[in-house]
Chain A
């Protein structure tokens, strides 16, 4: 089984150093100075998990405030800060880094490489993003400069002009927001560059593009989108900084500048960004669903084509966030149609996953349960997305809680679910121990219940006209009961998340020992020990198909017999375990 791994004693010179418990300081030094892709990946993940808890806590504060009408749990100023910092944190300091963390950890292992293409750039990218996150929260202390503490950016995560001008947002909190986002963008571009170069230039012999694990393909697409999406964001942030500090007039309406231009620039980033976040979730699904269905993925080429298609189309739909601006019938029609077209490749993916499940021998591990939750919830979220893409409907629903429900359905119901799935799937590889399935089932069911309580019912106040970002509301609007339900669901999700954190800690010490390949999986990361040694593979592996470990385990019937250059249709009966 462990074909690509020589036992450690053949690699280390046993007599060279006697084992000693490293001091804390040495451990810390090791992490801070590391350029190892696995350690950097873990730092990304750990740092995002911390921010996930912080931003989740902010969400809870908002839900407490909104649970009942006329509430004064927090002040209006604090509330504005909360939704701004919550959104910014979740997108830039949870979503992006956690996905890049997984990519960092997995991609070299999956393509049989020793490390990323540029290890030092990798470390730089991590630390610059981490610094960005600290800056964002530093604004709570330093946002008002010398005038006092306690101010956070309060311009919303899309920071529309002219609210961000110095007149309306004095102090420095908006600048901390700008800098935080700018730095995170630089880190993101660095990591995306690294992922592309690694994928193109570091593959082990035989790992042709047509044999890349789909996870790696999707990360490749996401990274290419990152260049085109994050560039405009960076440009817009530079303009905003010039406006605020050098007196330029990009978004200064008094001098002829345009507030709508900012909206365009932001959403040219913002919409591709949501696909940048969701493609890695698709990537996990592409690895996890086949393994627990005991079948090879259905429609590999269609999956690749659909991902590339999504990448391209998602660049041309941004103004569906701006229907309420009044772009005129021509532009509205274009963006309605473009947005609807994107559901075609997305639908192809859903059908491919269903076809993979179809006739498979499904193993309902916790990881698989989260993946199936992802499938259903992503479907629903896509459907509310299509509703919002109908301009006249959007004029009614835009800026209401319906929008908030739509995008949380994707971000939580699809992306976070798939992230949980990925945690249960790869945790054994990273730590050498299994996460507890029993605790995991509790985690899953509690989270599903909490999720649906919160986000199913959140659509309703939206339909009833409750605007987003309001601080409180009157009792006679008919929104009360729905807000109560939404808030109570949030509490259930919080409990489930704590259970997950507990599971991670408990299993690290007490979990069952995993071994190299606990799921009987097919990609290269499972051919090395758990956790992998710092050099990943003692010998560089060579592959002949998309499922190298299948070939290894079934030399009598390898995949390479079926995957020809022309990808002829597969004829073999799938595994019947």
Chain B
């Protein structure tokens, strides 16, 4: 038999969404639902600790590191658009800036935790605040770390000249993840440092 019946309009263009972006959107949805549960647990246990220290006593607003993290969303976006215009050196530069800003954020978290553990005696097992604080902020920091590793890899390829215009979409997928991580920080910041303090 002929397969003429199967063909509708052979000339009609058939474009589908990029699978990378769809896949990343799915991953973000799944990750978001994990974060929601940790945020709910945080809010649910707010003010229910049986012993101190309380958030008010020990937490300080991480303004500077938050600004760093959020601005790294802009720099990663700049890196993608540089690559899409085939400006490879510019792309490397923006990627390096992103990694640097993300690194500052992580260092800030490390410093905060050090201070909490050694100067205020707050650990994950101290009270409900410690339990929910370290797990929520730690989960987010883990995501930052994973993102930083991926971005550093991208930077490495970019510096070696192995990243070209064709990789724009891949870098864009990675940047989506990074935007997500930054977006989550806005929520975590509001819940932990504003609402919960």
Contact = CB atoms under 8 A, between A and B. Distances in A.
Contacts of A250: 41, 131-132, 135
Nearest to A254: B50
B17 to A, nearest CB: 6
Q: Of B16, B33, B130, which is in contact with the most chain A CB atoms at under 10 Å from its CB?
A: B33
A192 B3 CA distance: 33
A541 interface: yes
Interface stretch (A195-203, A467-475, A484-492): A195-203
A258 B131 CA distance: 13
B86 to A, nearest CB: 25
Interface stretch (A58-66, A96-104, A235-243): A235-243
Given A255-B128, A552-B1, A196 B16 contact: no
A255 B50 CA distance: 7
Where chain A touches its partner, the secondary structure class is helix
Contacts of A249: 125, 127-128, 131
B2 to A, nearest CB: 7
Contacts of B38: 235, 239
B34 A235 contact: yes
Contacts of B2: 3
B60 interface: no
B19 A239 contact: no
A543 interface: yes
B63 interface: no
Given A117-B23, A555-B5, A201 B17 contact: yes
A256 B47 CA distance: 10
A261 B33 contact: no
A257 B6 contact: no
Given A193-B26, A235-B38, A256 B48 contact: yes
Nearest to B50: A256
B33 A228 contact: yes
Contacts of A555: 4-5
A189 interface: yes
Central interface residue in A192, A227, A239, by most chain B CB within 10 Å: A227
Interface in A232-274: 232, 234-236, 238-239, 242, 246-250, 255-258, 261, 265, 268
Interface in B21-58: 22-23, 26-27, 29-38, 41, 44-45, 48-50
Contacts of B119: none
Contact of A265 (B1, B19, B37, B125): B37
Interface in A297-339: none
B1 to A, nearest CB: 6
A96 B36 CA distance: 24
A170 interface: no
15 contacts: A3-B2, A3-B3, A118-B19, A196-B22, A201-B16, A201-B19, A205-B12, A246-B125, A248-B134, A256-B45, A256-B48, A539-B3, A543-B6, A544-B6, A560-B8
A255 B127 contact: yes
A193 B29 CA distance: 10
Interface residues of B, number: 46
A201 B17 CA distance: 5
Interface string A530-563: 0000000001011110001001100100101000
B26 A542 contact: no
Interface string A190-218: 00111011101111011000000000000
Which 8 A-B pairs give the minimum distances between C-beta atoms?
A231-B33, A247-B125, A3-B3, A235-B37, A201-B19, A248-B131, A544-B8, A227-B30
A192 B125 CA distance: 35
Given A196-B22, A231-B37, A551 B6 contact: yes
B174 to A, nearest CB: 15
Given A257-B128, A258-B44, A544-B7, A227 B29 contact: yes
Contacts of A541: 3, 6
A364 to B, nearest CB: 29
A544 B7 CA distance: 7
Interface of A: 1, 3-4, 117-118, 189, 192-194, 196-198, 200-203, 205-206, 223-224, 226-232, 234-236, 238-239, 242, 246-250, 255-258, 261, 265, 268, 539, 541-544, 548, 551-552, 555, 558, 560
Contact of A256 (B19, B31, B37, B49): B49
A206 B12 CA distance: 9
Interface string B122-143: 0111011011101100010000
B19 to A, nearest CB: 4
Given A232-B33, A238-B135, A555-B5, 9 more contacts: A197-B22, A197-B26, A205-B14, A227-B26, A228-B30, A239-B38, A255-B127, A258-B45, A552-B1
A565 to B, nearest CB: 12
A417 B19 CA distance: 34
A321 B124 CA distance: 31
Contacts of B127: 249, 255-256
Contacts of B41: 239, 250, 261
A542 B4 CA distance: 9
A231 B128 contact: no
A558 B135 contact: no
A253 B148 CA distance: 37
A242 B124 contact: yes
Nearest to B30: A227
Nearest to A524: B6
Contact of A548 (B6, B35, B36): B6
Contacts of A117: 19, 22-23
B6 A3 contact: yes
A255 B27 CA distance: 34
A4 B3 CA distance: 7
B8 A193 contact: no
Nearest to B16: A201
A200 B135 contact: no
Contacts of A192: 26, 30
A231 B184 CA distance: 15
A549 to B, nearest CB: 9
Contact of B30 (A197, A230, A248, A560): A230
Contacts of A248: 124-125, 130-131, 134-135
Contacts of B4: 555
A434 to B, nearest CB: 23
